[in-house]
Structure 1
């Protein structure tokens, strides 16, 4: 997987992470060598599906709800969660049910399982929901620091209030050590020494301006271009790439 590149988007709720990720995926997809693709894969999809299964959240046809079924009302108190919101239910399942059993790196490991199934060398993966240093550790151990870009999004008066996540920096990732005594822990507990020795860790901060999400996406694209990830980094039609604002 060392030839797969990752764009890990990090920021508080309602800052525009999904919009940014969709734009970046579309724009980068136009600028990759022939045969390579940009993939939108979210780290929390499996957690959302598990949470829907635990609480028996179903679609009108009786199927367990897909990951983003409740996304539009994520912060609304719901009877099915005992008056809690979907976001609060996700935090509970993540921090109380899953991580104590499988270790804090588990969601990064599950994310890599999905990446392994759908990606090939030369592809770029964009994820909109990076929130913990622990999630990034197994990713970096697979792809290396020079093949990953950590993007922190700011602006729009968004904050991490009521969220278990926060802004992540490489220093958090590189010093993370999982001391959870989890019998079924998956993945590496810390960044491997050979990965540390190679270095190349990339991170940027961008600001989402209300009504102009393509500007922060362009900043990510420009950085990827300077890192020699792209073939024709600036030959994109921003209006076509922009699409509907989410």
Structure 2
């Protein structure tokens, strides 16, 4: 089922409840702000949001803090309301009667980092000297307010303080240089986010009968650069780039894993 499908909410109600959480937020009539959220960690720009007083088709337009967002349309009521969010959208070809599931085709899964610091990813952005705004990011999906970011022209201990749009973020310290394309490192991607891994350079050692290649039945590992009696050469491999993966936290619902 992890193929990005659009699933009817009445067809899989337990799965819908598991994948599309609800949380309380405070609306102000005529304004697009939502405050008082328990977290924005699992939200992204463009994510559908539903609830009483929220117009149909509304999405997240920016994430302004760990507890507040801006919507793409102004609320029609004021006060605390229960919102439903859709971490995987409505699904391919879906609508307001469906919800999406992850599309893991061609990906491998990685456990949610949850602050451990192992999950590191690279993104490319444009920096401007003395500015806290990074632009030109391919996608801000998977980033969250508070995530550490480092790289050329970025002061130490800098974090993201706002997700401005699908291609721009604000950081806690101003950049110290202007550059059209800077590789930045972020630590701890969002649950459900897609990304790429780089596997470090490594050897693919061949096996042969012995160190000289003689067929005497003695099996030893081939040295790097050596040639086996079968004509294979062992070489030092370069890094394997762009290995696709998704950050996951296993969920069990309706008797099946998703």
TM-score w.r.t. the length of structure 1 is 0.21
Larger Rg: 2
Judging by fraction of residues, say which structure has more helix: 1
Judging by fraction of residues, say which structure has more strand: 2
